[in-house]
Structure 1
Amino acid sequence: MKIRAAVTNEIDSPYVIEELTLNEIRDDEILVKMVASGICHSDEVARKGGYPVYPVVLGHEGSGIVEKVGAAVRGFEPGDHVVLSYHYCGHCSNCLSGVPASCEDWMTVNLRGTREDGSLYFQREDGSPIYNFVSQSSFSTHTIVTERNLTKVDKSVDLRLVGPLGCGFLTGSGTVLNGLKPGPGSTIAIFGTGAVGLAAMMAAKISGCSQIIGVDIHDSRLDTAKQLGATHTINSKDSDVLAEIKKLTNNKGVNFSIDTTGVPAVARTSIDILAVGGVAAPIASSRGGVEINFNADLNMLNRSIKGVLMGNSIPQLSIPQLIQFFEAGQFSFDQLVKFYKFDEINEASADSASGKTIKPVLIIDEDYAPAK
């Protein structure tokens, strides 16, 4: 079938809306008509060169409506409303243990750009290849996924809002709820108050943290952080973060920290401000490293650094939970969203990269209206 998609043709090139051919679904696949897609920092990383194959249709925070299912599909049917998230193999020891974010084949199944047998989902009319992203490619009017990519949501849920629950908001909240698991009364510092950081702050409030310290260089974002759960904020451009956090915590430091910036110096600070026994989660994409003295920084203070991918979440469990938190007024991610038309994808991407918009969402199907 003919579809429209935003194609990244080469490293650091703008998105180009093109007409492509979407190949037929197979027995274990599902055709989804896209309603909307968030733009994530990882899309920008991929567009700038962090992906192995081009041209590619990026996007991995999609939401839409099931249009067709393969003969072997049992969990979904046409008309189902769904949120798209990452893929996982389902049969490795980690998947079978209920930790699909630690799938042994995660990198392969999400980043190879094709089906397992090398066949394409997308191609141009002349047959030239267009590659897939995170087994989803949500910057398109239709896409092909599997059951493991999908989470079914109630038809009363506004599909224009919930796509980012498949990655950015899932990652931030899950890092707290599933990765760090702070107990009531814990203290936490979150570096970067974009979509991921603010989701983490809301989750920290849900978890009962007594001090939730937001760190950023933009006062406007720190103001938003205060509205969404931060008990204290620090502008690191104007203040000594280590000194300020020591002051706030009676010279102890915080029990937990999360770095969402990927800036090596910031990641280093997120370790330095830990209390004895503290845990740091550096979850941002970063090309720079941080020098660690295992004895002085970790062992002698019983500290640890924890890697967390996709919030260590099971999307089919975590996404409905986040929607419940949202409906209860505890996870107000809608305050971070700004809508753009599909054709405005380059403007939306630029606004995301500059920080002008915290979470841009592309409206791909402008005829969609949520159920009343």
Structure 2
Amino acid sequence: MMEIRAATIRQKGGPFRIENLILDEPRPDEVLVRIAATGMCHTDMVARDQLYDVPLPIVLGHEGAGVVERVGSNVKKVTAGDHVVLTYMWCGHCRPCLHGDLTYCQNFYALNFGGAREDGSSSARDAHGSLHDHFFGQSSFGTFALTHERNAIKVPREAPLELLGPLGCGIQTGAGAVINALKVNPGASFAAFGGGAVGLSAVMAARVTGATTIIAVDVVPSRLELARELGATHTVNSRETDPVATVRKISGGGVEYALESSGRPQVLRQAIDALGIRGTCGIVGAPALGTEVSFDVNGVMTTGKRILGIIEGDSIPDLFIPALVELYMQGRFPFDKLVKFYPLDRINEAAEDSEKGITIKPIIRVAL
């Protein structure tokens, strides 16, 4: 066992509390990672605020990046000293996993939101007993994280490690939705509804795919300006104009692809209505469990529109995360323009800035 510092959530709505905890040694199939930095994602706030059923108290954090400290006796994928990005967890033995549909693992919710390993055990404890951990198989808001070999993704040492954590979830989700799930093609029209980290990652990915009409829709002028810098050919402030009518006008009758990342039902309806004939709308926003949305059934049916749920960008992390790192290193995917760094002891400030829209993608830098 070893002592670590980590940010815990002990009650609905927080705050994060920096505490000294004890962490177990890695099991045979596990990897101990010394965390360099961890991205803060909307899903951390969803868990903190109990919009999803996540057990408390818990150590959150699911966009970790760091250096492998030790590995279990059966681990072959990484070795001590390797640089890794930590991503979502999947079981590897259910029918979807065996088909290669890792993000639709039958055990996805339990493994990523259940606060424990697949066997129900946890690895972190305080003076009074066990805490919930293994959030997204990692719980990386701390100095060390214990993860399965499966969801530790090796990345090149020459890449800036403390920047890479968000590739494990938010950035991967937006980019993967465009590249892997929607399969936006050269010359296509695409609209991102929502200009946060996921939506802006989608904008960058659309430029990488060769889409020629790339529309960013948001209500924050600074985010729309950044979207232009990152590859959007058009921007729409939905507080100032009807986004559906404007997107349809720009695209000549409706876009071929749209992505909704805000988690707001009314925005999802706008994204669906903004589609052209045979258009596809991807859903990646995460509202509270049980949230419903309405749409015009005939408007969808008679135009052949498709509505597609997407988890983690339909990504196979061992392939997709290194590809995103390479795109970044080539200057073709500048996601560093989304981030701002905060030390671990200012994690509550990072959360507040994120929720206020001051910071698009906070990264919690861990001081060792």
Once residues 259 and 293 of structure 2 are traced to their aligned partners in structure 1, the CA distance between those partners, rounded to angstroms, is 15
Shift of 1:227: 0.2
Aligned partner of 1:146 in structure 2 is 148
Once residues 297 and 140 of structure 1 are traced to their aligned partners in structure 2, the CA distance between those partners, rounded to angstroms, is 48
Kept after mapping to 2: 8 A contact 1:124/1:130: no
Secondary structure at the residue paired with 2:20?
Answer: strand
Kept after mapping to 2: 8 A contact 1:188/1:254: yes
After superposition, residues 123-142 of structure 1 pair within 5 angstroms as 123-142=125-144
Kept after mapping to 1: 8 A contact 2:123/2:130: no
Aligned partner of 1:9 in structure 2 is 10
Q: Which digits, 9 at most, give the CA deviation of each residue in 1:214-233, with x for residues without a partner? A: 00001111000000010000
Once residues 130 and 76 of structure 2 are traced to their aligned partners in structure 1, the CA distance between those partners, rounded to angstroms, is 33
Shift of 1:129: 2.8
Aligned partner of 1:316 in structure 2 is 318
Once residues 279 and 116 of structure 2 are traced to their aligned partners in structure 1, the CA distance between those partners, rounded to angstroms, is 41
Aligned partner of 1:356 in structure 2 is 358
Once residues 117 and 42 of structure 1 are traced to their aligned partners in structure 2, the CA distance between those partners, rounded to angstroms, is 23
Kept after mapping to 2: 8 A contact 1:53/1:131: no
Secondary structure at the residue paired with 1:115?
Answer: coil
Aligned partner of 1:275 in structure 2 is 276
Kept after mapping to 2: 8 A contact 1:188/1:209: yes
Shift of 1:158: 1.0
Aligned partner of 1:292 in structure 2 is 295
Q: Which range moved further: 347-356 or 46-55?
A: 46-55
Secondary structure at the residue paired with 1:134?
Answer: helix
Once residues 56 and 3 of structure 1 are traced to their aligned partners in structure 2, the CA distance between those partners, rounded to angstroms, is 14
Aligned partner of 1:102 in structure 2 is 104
Once residues 45 and 313 of structure 1 are traced to their aligned partners in structure 2, the CA distance between those partners, rounded to angstroms, is 22
Kept after mapping to 2: 8 A contact 1:34/1:365: no
Shift of 1:267: 0.6
Once residues 278 and 119 of structure 2 are traced to their aligned partners in structure 1, the CA distance between those partners, rounded to angstroms, is 46
Q: 2:57 aligns with which of 55, 58, 77?
A: 55
Once residues 269 and 47 of structure 2 are traced to their aligned partners in structure 1, the CA distance between those partners, rounded to angstroms, is 25
Q: Which digits, 9 at most, give the CA deviation of each residue in 1:321-346, with x for residues without a partner? A: 00111111110001111111110100
Shift of 1:128: 4.1
Q: Which range moved further: 223-232 or 105-114?
A: 105-114
Q: Are 2:84 and 1:93 equivalent residues in the alignment?
A: no
Q: 1:219 aligns with which of 221, 235, 238?
A: 221
Q: Are 2:196 and 1:197 equivalent residues in the alignment?
A: no
Aligned partner of 1:304 in structure 2 is 306
Kept after mapping to 1: 8 A contact 2:38/2:140: yes
Shift of 1:52: 2.5
Secondary structure at the residue paired with 1:52?
Answer: coil
Once residues 89 and 297 of structure 1 are traced to their aligned partners in structure 2, the CA distance between those partners, rounded to angstroms, is 39
Q: Which digits, 9 at most, give the CA deviation of each residue in 1:280-299, with x for residues without a partner? A: 012101133211343x1321
Once residues 40 and 146 of structure 2 are traced to their aligned partners in structure 1, the CA distance between those partners, rounded to angstroms, is 19
Once residues 74 and 342 of structure 2 are traced to their aligned partners in structure 1, the CA distance between those partners, rounded to angstroms, is 36
Shift of 1:77: 1.0
Once residues 133 and 75 of structure 2 are traced to their aligned partners in structure 1, the CA distance between those partners, rounded to angstroms, is 24
Which 5+ residue runs of structure 2 have no aligned equivalent?
none
Once residues 293 and 340 of structure 1 are traced to their aligned partners in structure 2, the CA distance between those partners, rounded to angstroms, is 44
Kept after mapping to 2: 8 A contact 1:122/1:132: no
Once residues 215 and 292 of structure 1 are traced to their aligned partners in structure 2, the CA distance between those partners, rounded to angstroms, is 19
Shift of 1:305: 0.2
Kept after mapping to 1: 8 A contact 2:248/2:275: no
TM-score, structure 2 length as denominator?
Answer: 0.97
Once residues 115 and 242 of structure 1 are traced to their aligned partners in structure 2, the CA distance between those partners, rounded to angstroms, is 44
Once residues 328 and 35 of structure 1 are traced to their aligned partners in structure 2, the CA distance between those partners, rounded to angstroms, is 23
Secondary structure at the residue paired with 2:359?
Answer: coil
Aligned length: 364
Aligned partner of 2:119 in structure 1 is 117
Q: Which of structure 1's runs of 4+ aligned residues deviate more than 6 A?
A: none
**CA RMSD of superposed structures (Å):** 1.2
Aligned partner of 1:253 in structure 2 is 254
Letter in 1 for 2:205: A
Letter in 1 for 2:104: S
Shift of 1:40: 0.3
Once residues 241 and 118 of structure 1 are traced to their aligned partners in structure 2, the CA distance between those partners, rounded to angstroms, is 46
Secondary structure at the residue paired with 1:7?
Answer: strand
Secondary structure at the residue paired with 1:17?
Answer: strand
Shift of 1:23: 1.6
Once residues 297 and 6 of structure 1 are traced to their aligned partners in structure 2, the CA distance between those partners, rounded to angstroms, is 47
Kept after mapping to 1: 8 A contact 2:177/2:314: yes
TM-score, structure 1 length as denominator?
Answer: 0.95
Once residues 208 and 25 of structure 1 are traced to their aligned partners in structure 2, the CA distance between those partners, rounded to angstroms, is 44
Aligned partner of 1:168 in structure 2 is 170
Which 5+ residue runs of structure 1 have no aligned equivalent?
367-372
Letter in 2 for 1:163: G
Shift of 1:51: 3.5
Shift of 1:76: 1.3
Once residues 277 and 40 of structure 1 are traced to their aligned partners in structure 2, the CA distance between those partners, rounded to angstroms, is 32
Once residues 217 and 292 of structure 1 are traced to their aligned partners in structure 2, the CA distance between those partners, rounded to angstroms, is 22
Once residues 142 and 246 of structure 1 are traced to their aligned partners in structure 2, the CA distance between those partners, rounded to angstroms, is 48
Q: Which digits, 9 at most, give the CA deviation of each residue in 1:105-131, with x for residues without a partner? A: 111222221123322211112224343
